[in-house]
């Protein structure tokens, strides 16, 4: 795959609200780094990068409601 760009997608682990967004487009992230936190039933869940990458797109903002599996962040 010469010249192809592979994108890594980060989805919501459960329904809830985007509580805290910790990355912006263009940020370099490492595997295991927290990208954002969601809140559901007064419980906060950290959503972490599974691989190293650069944030290409953030699809929600703080306060937005998300459903399980919603695409939250795209890394490349």
pLDDT of residue 22: 98
What is the model's pLDDT at position 1?
45
Residue 2 has pLDDT above 90, yes or no: no
Confidence of residue 5 (pLDDT cuts 50, 70, 90): low
Distance CA 17, CA 37 (A): 9
Return all residues near 6 (Cβ < 8 A) that are at least 6 apart. Answer: 76
**pLDDT score of 4 more than 60:** no
C-alpha distances in angstroms, 73 versus 2, 37, 42, 64, 66?
A: 25, 12, 23, 14, 12
| pLDDT tens per residue across span 6-59 | 788 999 999 999 999 999 999 999 999 999 999 999 899 999 999 999 999 999
Q: Residue 47 and residue 35: Cα distance in Å, rounded?
A: 6
Domains of the chain: 8-75 (2.40.50.100)
């Amino acid at each position: 795959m010469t010249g192809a760009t592979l994108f890594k997608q980060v989805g919501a682990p459960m329904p809830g609200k985007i509580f805290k967004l910790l990355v912006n487009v263009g940020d370099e992230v490492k595997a295991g780094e927290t990208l954002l936190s969601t809140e559901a039933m007064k419980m906060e869940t950290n959503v972490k990068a599974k691989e190293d990458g650069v944030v290409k797109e953030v699809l929600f903002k703080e306060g937005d409601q998300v459903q399980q599996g919603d695409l939250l962040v795209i890394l490349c």
